Amino acid sequence: MKTKSLQRVFDSAFAGIRQASEAFTPQLTPREVGTIVSVATGIAKVSGLPGVGFDELVTFPGDVPGIAFNVDADEIGVVLLGEYWHLHAGDEVQRTARVMDVAVGDSLLGRVIDPLGRPLDGNGPVASDKRLPIERAAPPIMDRAPVTAPLQTGLKVIDALIPVGRGQRELILGDRQTGKTAIAIDTILNQRGQDVVCVYCAIGQRASAVAKAVSVLRENGAMAYTVVVVTEGNDPPGLAYIAPYAATGIAESFMEAGRDVLIVYDDLTHHARAYRELSLLLRRPPGREAFPGDIFYIHSRLLERATHLRKEFGSGSLTALPIIETEAQNISAYIPTNLISITDGQIYLSPSLFELGVLPAVDVGKSVSRVGGKAQRAAYRAVAGDLKLAYAQFEELETFSKFGARLDEDTRKIIEHGRRIRACLKQQELSPVSVPAQLTVLLALTAELFDTVPLDRMTDAEHAAQQAAANIPAEVCARFETAEKLTDADRNTIIEIARKALISFQPKPESKSDPKPEVKAGAKPETESEPKPGTTTEPQPETKGETKPAVKLESKPETKAGDSATAGSETPIGPKPEAKAELKPKSEEKS
């Protein structure tokens, strides 16, 4: 019985296999396969792919991806996105019939990846069920909303004088080693608890610099809401070219979900150079500074994707902070002027201010925010206007005073007030300041509470004013976050709190009497105080003519060397014989 049942099982299984094999009909799918003609630094010339499209993704042996960049009649120019040292002429190239895309989603938060989505932090592969193309059209005009909400950077000089709004594009430019990346990192750190997702895109940076930035973000708890997209300096130029587009695709996924996003491109100078390298290798015609003619377009189509969406589309926003490196403070170079015309304002960092120790070295005169002023909080707007005007006047007068001109009292007050403003706008790295603390310092500046504080104590005085911001009533702090203007009572309350905090830094009354003995110890005051004794009446008529310089020159060192008590009794005896000895021969010559 067992053998018969087993036989039936085998018969039914083989019958099913027979039916399946009879029902299967093999199908042939056409596939375009090309061959490599030549390989150069970061590019490859491929032939045999007549149906390939522009920006289409192709694969090489070893799963090396590439993007079709030049589409000619006989061959195509491909930008390689991986290690290409093992590729040779004659190797097979296949089409994928899709464009370059990147993984998106919340699973990327806290990760360090490359533009292809491969992890660089050693925490395993990125788990994501959604992918978006890196190249997408910018949102239409009718889908956009005005920029109305501010993006607080935590830096007093920016939040007060050059405000940035959510959905704005603010350029950061300056010479190398002037603190451009530090401003971007401080801005990311200040978004903690603000429900803002941050994307930091490092383009062609040194591996040590990227590792330092990531460690700073991780130590301050900012990696929980940050995605880091990295291309190192030794990566192929194709990866540096697609890096900002891939980072923008990741940021757009959060924006379309209704969240506020901040993206930092550090920096687009390396991006432009990588694109120039690829274009020259692919024999595209060069233009100004050897850049191709569409260098403006690659940056404009990238930054136009930063916007603030309407409520019907989720009210998400994407704020862009592109960074550009200038050479010898030349902001009128090709790439800087392109980015200045594309963005909504710029923050210029001056090397001269950096050398003077004014950090962040923001040049307020050359910096501007064309959109953020409307998004600035009303409390800031009431203070920033007077502050910026006073600071601009100070910079002009400070330049004028360097020529050694004699200044009147009003000019001196403006200069001293401006020096206090500059001291208060200084800020240490990785130390963002809260909104109540900033407003306390700014209101104290406008009320001239710092003008009597010595410059060497300004740092401690400002720190005391920031700590005193904790005493501001809760109802007043609540108005900071709204569009309501501060009332006179609110301003007086904050100023009074700041005044109490700065009492200990005011000069003591005794210090006013200290300069008097110092002036008496000088030569001129002594000559005025010495005639008070009756014995000093004789030298005055004796030095009427040509003897005035001789008496003055000889009396000054004697009064300086002697004490004030003995000078009154000894000086009439000392100069008298000298003056008489000089006058006798002169009187004989006249007679």
φ/ψ bin of 388: left (φ > 0), alpha (ψ from -120 to 50), beta (otherwise): alpha
Strands (E), 278-344: 317-325
Separation CA 259–CA 429 (nearest Å): 27
Closest CA to 526 of 578, 575, 550, 562: 562
∠540-544-550 over CA atoms, to 5°? Answer: 85
Separation CA 263–CA 301 (nearest Å): 15
Active-site annotation, residues = 370
> Residue 568 forms beta bridges with which residues?
none
Q: Three-state SS for 175?
A: coil
Strands (E), 206-281: 226-232, 260-266
Amino acid at 565: A
Separation CA 239–CA 229 (nearest Å): 11
pLDDT at 310: 96
Residue 95: phi, psi to the nearest 5? -85, 155
SS3 content of the chain, % helix, strand, coil (to 5): 50, 15, 35
Query: Is residue 366 within 8 Å of residue 214, measured between CB atoms?
Result: no
Query: Is residue 246 within 8 Å of residue 108, measured between CB atoms?
Result: no
* Per-residue pLDDT in tens (0 to 9) along the chain, 591 residues: 566 677 888 888 888 888 888 887 777 778 889 999 999 999 999 999 989 999 999 999 999 999 999 999 899 999 999 999 999 999 999 999 999 999 999 999 999 999 999 999 999 999 888 999 999 999 999 999 999 999 999 999 999 999 999 999 999 999 999 999 999 999 999 999 999 999 999 999 999 999 999 999 999 999 999 999 999 999 999 999 999 999 999 999 999 999 999 999 999 999 999 999 999 999 999 999 999 999 999 999 999 999 999 999 999 999 999 999 999 999 999 999 999 999 999 999 999 999 999 999 999 999 999 988 888 988 898 888 888 889 988 988 888 787 777 888 888 999 999 999 999 999 999 999 999 999 999 999 999 999 999 999 999 999 999 999 999 999 888 888 887 888 899 999 999 999 999 999 888 765 444 444 444 444 444 444 444 444 444 444 444 444 444 434 343 444 443 344 333 433 344 444 444 444 444 444 443
Helix (H) / strand (E) element for 435: namely helix 435-446
Sign of CA dihedral 256, 257, 260, 265: negative
Query: Is residue 262 within 8 Å of residue 151, measured between CB atoms?
Result: yes
The first and second tokens of residue 332, run together, are 């009128």
Domains delineated in the chain? 33-98 (2.40.30.20), 100-376 (3.40.50.300), 377-510 (1.20.150.20)
